[in-house]
Structure 1
Amino acid sequence: MPIETLQVPTPDGRADAFAAFPDHGERYPGVLMYSDGFGIRPVLREMALELAGHGYYVLVPNLFYRHGPAPVIDLPGHIGEEARPAVFAQLMPLIEAHTCERVLSDADAYLRFLSTRREVAAGPVAVTGYCIGGLLAMRTAAAHPGRVAAVAAFHGPVSADGPDLYSRITAQVHLGHAEGDVTPEALAELNQALDAAGVRYTSEIYPGTIHGFTMSDTDTFSASGLKHHWDRLLHLLDRMADH
């Protein structure tokens, strides 16, 4: 299965990115995948290839392309407790510079790019994201209700923008929360806000997980959490593809 290295035109330049998709010469539903704050690295390629193997065209952009091509900072092969403070010290300025205005400008560019690819089927797309990418996925779905039919966010700060965000989302939503991130009370409050906004969603705490549980190159990884994530994500995307 090929991985294609790409340059996505944006109003601020070109975002380096990659796409994974089946090599059958057909057209596949498009999925925009936002990385976590650590950015593009081998584990993201593994995840994109896994998803592509289920019949999707998966586009993974470098969120921080304005600061240089990925990897924007040097990352250890395994991101453990000792490495984390130094890594975050370099990453936080990039994350803070990635304003909502920039997020939405980039989202326009990424979705436009998907619509031009000959390997991508006509029709709506899905957006998925991890950690900060989960919030970006929700913002993208809210900004493009006619284009995004499914959105998933895993261990993401999805309530950071408040309930106004939810009222603009028409996509089917799945939110997979780390047990270490969300209390049952906070989950109930979030789900109540989603209900009030009329969002079609599933939103649950993944048992025994802490923030970052999907990423196998970190010390927060949970194999059972990752499997649960694939079960939920593929179910969501299959429903989109069937419509």
Structure 2
Amino acid sequence: MSGPECCTNPPTIGSGSNNDRIEEIGGLKSYTAGLLIPSNPALILIADIFGFEAPKLRQLADKLAKDGFYVVVPDFFYGDSYVPEKSLASWLPNHEAEKGCEDLKKVATDLKSKGASAIGAAGFCWGGMAISKLSTYGEIEAAVILHPGPLSDDDVNAIKFPTAILGAELDEVSPPDQLKKFGEILSANSVDNFVKIYPGVVHGWTTRYKHDDEHSVKCAMESHLDMLNWFTKYLK
């Protein structure tokens, strides 16, 4: 389902991970940032295979919260995030994107019951696959899919909410030509979309960039701003 690029440059779990803001949302242990008040939209960040404890993912949640969003990063893997010592082939069958979609629905429903004015979801690699399965349920108003795991034309054909797709130029898992085709499919279906390919970066760069790689850092920050702008457009 996923390739070796999905496993490169793993985060150092525990390095800068703030566990002070862990709550249960939709039955899932979740890192939270910002305030959930009736006038605030909520964002759900869906991790790649390395899970919700990844420090850069939590830092991104904090950054988005400063712009007026209530942000949750649920543990879709129930404490069993992928680690390099594991076999990806044996790990994936226990963590299908379809199950992630079911959990995503529960999280979104819980957030709406708590008063979120609107809900967006951003998925990274595996997380983007989970979002694509949500299309027919209507729980969210907008999505951003970043360097997605393997998606099919059928997955994209089913998407009904405005969707931005942010990809890497050097990505065999989700190559640029395929992502551009996905944009064409969405446009043909009258779904507002935004597809952007960031030059010179590889799969996973948005949350697994190296701090000493100035170009990757610059592109990651640019992708975060593009994500913020997309959600601001549709949720505020």
Name the TM-score class by shorter chain: 0.7 to 0.9
Q: What are the equivalent positions in structure 2 for 1:1-243 lying under 5 Å apart?
A: 4-9=21-26, 14-22=27-35, 27-41=39-53, 42-65=55-78, 69=79, 72=80, 86-87=84-85, 89-117=86-114, 120-122=115-117, 124-140=118-134, 142-145=135-138, 147-157=139-149, 160=151, 162-181=152-171, 182-216=174-208, 222-242=216-236
Matched residue count: 214
1:215/1:100 Cα in 2 relative to 1: closer, same or farther (>3 Å)?
closer
In 1: Cα distance, 2:123 partner to 2:175 partner: 21
In 1: Cα distance, 2:157 partner to 2:212 partner: 32
Higher mean displacement: 185-194 or 28-37: 185-194
In 1: Cα distance, 2:65 partner to 2:100 partner: 24
What is the root-mean-square deviation of aligned Cα atoms in Å?
2.9
Amino acid in the other structure paired with 1:103: G
In 2: Cα distance, 1:213 partner to 1:31 partner: 20
Deviation sequence 1:186-230 (CA, Å, 0-9, x none):
344333322333221011211111011012465897112211112
**Distance apart, 1:237 and its partner CA:** 1.0
Amino acid in the other structure paired with 1:136: A
Aligned identity (percent) is 23
When the two structures are superposed, what TM-score results if normalisation uses the length of structure 2? 0.78
Q: Relative contact order (C-alpha < 8 Å, sep 6+): which is higher?
A: 2
1:183/1:94 Cα in 2 relative to 1: closer, same or farther (>3 Å)?
closer
Higher mean displacement: 170-179 or 216-225: 216-225
In 1: Cα distance, 2:40 partner to 2:164 partner: 21
Q: Secondary structure at the match of 1:178?
A: strand
In 2: Cα distance, 1:217 partner to 1:178 partner: 12
| Contact 2:144–2:227 (Cα < 8 Å) also in 1 | yes
Amino acid in the other structure paired with 2:48: D
Deviation sequence 1:157-184 (CA, Å, 0-9, x none):
2x52x23333332321110011111545
Q: Runs of 5+ in structure 2 lacking a partner? A: 1-18
In 1: Cα distance, 2:197 partner to 2:140 partner: 24
| Contact 2:51–2:82 (Cα < 8 Å) also in 1 | no
In 1: Cα distance, 2:33 partner to 2:136 partner: 25
In 1: Cα distance, 2:200 partner to 2:209 partner: 18
In 1: Cα distance, 2:164 partner to 2:186 partner: 11
When the two structures are superposed, what TM-score results if normalisation uses the length of structure 1? 0.76
| Contact 1:18–1:60 (Cα < 8 Å) also in 2 | yes
| Contact 1:3–1:20 (Cα < 8 Å) also in 2 | no
In 1: Cα distance, 2:38 partner to 2:178 partner: 43
Amino acid in the other structure paired with 1:175: I
